[in-house]
Amino acid sequence: MDSSLTPFFDPQGIVVIGASSSPEKLGYGVARNLLKGGYEGAIHLVNPKDGTLFGIPMQRSVAEVPDPVDLAVVIVPAAVAPQTLREVGQRGIHAAILTSSGFRETGPQGAALEEELLGVCRAFDIRLIGPNCIGLLDTHLPLDTTFLAPPPPPSGDIAFLSHSGAFCAAIIDWSRWQGFGFSRLISLGNQADVTETDLLAHIASDPHTRSIVLYLEGLKDGRRFLQEAARVTPRKPIVALKVGRFESGQKAAASHTGALAGAEAAFDAAFEKAGVLRALTVEEAFDWAQALAACRLPRGRRMAVLTNAGGPGVIAADSLEDHGLSLAALGTTTIRALQELLPPAASPNNPVDMLASASPADYANCLRLLLDDPQVDGVLLVLPPPPIYPAEEVADALIPLIRAADKPVLVALMGAHLVQTAARHFERSHIPTFPFPERAAATLARLAERAEFLAKPEAESQPAIQVDAGAAAAILEAAPRGQWLEAEAVDQLMSAYGIPTAPVKLAHSADEAASLAEELGFPLVIKVASPDIPHKSDVGGLVLGVTSPESAAEAFRTVSQRARTARPEAHIQGVHLQRQVSEGQEVILGVVRDPQFGALVMFGSGGVEVEGLKDVAFALAPLTPVEAESLIGRTWAGKKLDGFRNIPPADKAAAVDVLVRLAALAYEQPAITEIEINPLSVLKQGAVAIDVRIKC
């Protein structure tokens, strides 16, 4: 861990610069929260007008502040912030929180002021949180450097790091109603210096933190975040709510891969590689965080549903299936015991419907039977308001069992007024509840995902594949930038990384096409050769099934004429001739270079309809064989390689090998900006890259 960040979490003394005796000022709120929040270290207040606040005298300058002091909270106008931080550094304080706004978020002038701030921090070795933030709090120390209106958030075990200060304020207020609390909460603001990545290790080391939620609007250094998150997730779960998923004005990409791989595909791939769970809504993020902090993890995906009403039970069953979980097949012993316990009209099969007359004891006894069944990995307990017994009596009967269980039990507590007291009982026992089965089922799925992540063997080392990286680097060094490479250079790169291709020959005339056709053999594919026409079929520049020299010559004339008609401005070099590979399944492989995370690899259904089908998945390079196989398995194209109905199985291992090699090429050769193999023909034995394009 970075020791320079320790004063933010364990300060010996704090100075509030800009403290104010005016209740409408932010400096008043910071001083109030710090003094009234129970912090036991030294607290100093600075205001040029001196005076007292809450019985504490205010110093005129930070230079007058006595020891101990190792953290400054600064609330001053933006224009004087650089000079104030300079005085902080001269006083020997090396950690500061700057809440003031008026910096990069306001435009070029503010950005220049922020750069000046950063220069001061570097000169005096100051670590800075902010500017444009609300500060941080620790409910267990306790410590509250924010200016938010009291009361402070409930104490709990969720750490929350946010790029938005206003969002922090809203979440704190919402959490009181939802019944969960925080261990630490940090508003990062503009992140001129300290980022969420810097803080991950410190947050994960906190014994009071059991899960971490990140609200992200972007990342400064995606690769470093990936590395830090990957170190943390085996110890503490991370849930990320990354906003700004739909970017307007995105540049049109020249390849299918580029068109399909928006920035969010890279974030998805990065989160998956690091074991970060990505939430799409605020409710998801905190539902998952609560359960990850409080619940046991399931051993599998087989779930039981227990309820007193048929309809909610069906909703729960549907929701489990929707989220990739399955209804457990209850053992005969369990079913027989449920039949003996429940009325004849009840359903002892999963989902278990105890009927509306179910008592608190019925709930507890049935839950015990389900938890004891080795076929059950977890239970979704659905509790609408019981018509006979108060819901809180049912809760009290269930709480000891849920707390003692070695399997997760998630409670969908349906209703509002009639279950409010029950909700408070569950809350006091640190058992999260959900208003409807759908949210509980989604959360159970994330628990299963977390369990599977932790059960993975240690990270597989990169395979030692035979490549000629030096030859590839030499080819790329000589290649022009911003252009698609010539076919010969593409073949050489594929050969250097051991990716099989079908040989390609360039014909400049119809007679040369006929001659080369005899040399290559039949059947052939003939494609227009033009760096300006990446998708040949779009202009009719592709002819399949050429079986004679004469038809090769005719195909030359046909595709050349079609291309000139459709794209008169394009430079036509001639045509490419290639042996036609008729057998095998066609898939697409691609690479684009993401500015945050590096080479992003794609696999999916190939051919001309790839953008329409969108049967694709992404992962970050480099790839191990296990990661490559997982990427393939996330698509229909990949599942089909195992065979389906009248489709014979293909050589999936060969596809995995090509994917690993392609990822290695992209990772090791940063000059490459884009690669597309469309299609890769996966044969009964082996795989062949039919059409390959590479851009530098």
* Structure token pair of residue 42: 């030294």
Separation between Cα atoms, residue 44 and residue 50, nearest integer Å: 12
* Structure token pair of residue 301: 């995906």
What 3-state class would DSSP assign to 45?
Answer: strand
Calculate mean pLDDT across residues 245-249: 56
CB-based contact 20:39 (threshold 8 Å)? no
Query: What topology is assigned to 3-209 in CATH?
Result: Rossmann fold (3.40.50)
pLDDT of 556 > 60? The answer is yes
pLDDT of 303 > 80? The answer is yes
* Structure token pair of residue 5: 């960040």
Sequence-distant (≥ 6) Cβ neighbours of residue 409 within 8 angstroms: 295, 367, 371, 378, 379, 381, 398, 401, 402, 431
Separation between Cα atoms, residue 344 and residue 22, nearest integer Å: 70
For 424-438, letters b (16+ CB in 10 Å) and e give ebbbeebbbbbbbbb
Calculate mean pLDDT across residues 321-342: 97
Segment 207-230, tens digit of pLDDT: 999 999 999 998 999 999 999 999
Query: What topology is assigned to 469-579 in CATH?
Result: Dna Ligase; domain 1 (3.30.1490)
**CB neighbour class for 100 (10 Å; exposed up to 12, middle 13-18, buried from 19):** buried
Start-to-end CA span in the chain (Å): 38
Q: What is the pLDDT of residue 261?
A: 57
The CATH code that applies to domain 585-695 is 3.30.470.20
**Residue 525 phi/psi, 5° resolution?**
-110, 135
Calculate mean pLDDT across residues 424-439: 95
pLDDT of 60 > 70? The answer is yes
Separation between Cα atoms, residue 131 and residue 111, nearest integer Å: 11
Sequence-distant (≥ 6) Cβ neighbours of residue 167 within 8 angstroms: 215
Q: What is the pLDDT of residue 258?
A: 53
Supply the DSSP symbol for 539. G
Residues in the chain: 696
Dihedral sign, CA of 312, 317, 321, 326? positive
Q: What is the pLDDT of residue 253?
A: 44
Q: What is the pLDDT of residue 609?
A: 61
Separation between Cα atoms, residue 629 and residue 642, nearest integer Å: 12
- DSSP secondary structure, 148-196, as one string: PPSSPPPEEEEEEEES-HHHHHHHHHHHHHHT--EEEEEE-TT-SS--H
pLDDT of 461 > 70? The answer is no
pLDDT of 259 > 70? The answer is no
Query: Is the bond into 435 cis (omega within 30 degrees of 0)?
Result: no
Q: What is the pLDDT of residue 462?
A: 66
pLDDT of 647 > 90? The answer is no
What 3-state class would DSSP assign to 278?
Answer: strand
- Helix, strand, coil content of the chain in percent (nearest 5): 40, 20, 35
* Structure token pair of residue 441: 């089922």
List the chain domain ranges: 3-209, 296-455, 469-579, 585-695
Segment 267-298, tens digit of pLDDT: 999 999 999 999 999 999 999 999 999 999 99
Calculate mean pLDDT across residues 594-621: 86
Separation between Cα atoms, residue 70 and residue 85, nearest integer Å: 13
Separation between Cα atoms, residue 112 and residue 427, nearest integer Å: 48
Separation between Cα atoms, residue 77 and residue 507, nearest integer Å: 71
| Greater pLDDT, 488 or 513 | 513
Pairing of strands 409-413, 504-507: unpaired
Sequence-distant (≥ 6) Cβ neighbours of residue 444 within 8 angstroms: 291, 298, 303, 320, 323, 325, 378, 380, 408, 410
Q: What is the pLDDT of residue 460?
A: 60
**Is the CATH code 3.30.1490.20 the one for domain 296-455?**
no
Question: Is-above-0.85 flag for pTM?
Answer: yes
CB-based contact 313:303 (threshold 8 Å)? no
Segment 352-388, tens digit of pLDDT: 999 999 999 999 999 999 999 999 999 999 999 989 9
Segment 145-173, tens digit of pLDDT: 999 998 889 999 999 999 999 899 999 99
List C-alpha distances in Å: 423 to 73, 91, 198, 484, 675: 38, 51, 37, 62, 54
Q: Where are the beta strands (DSSP E) in 350-405?
A: 352-353, 378-383
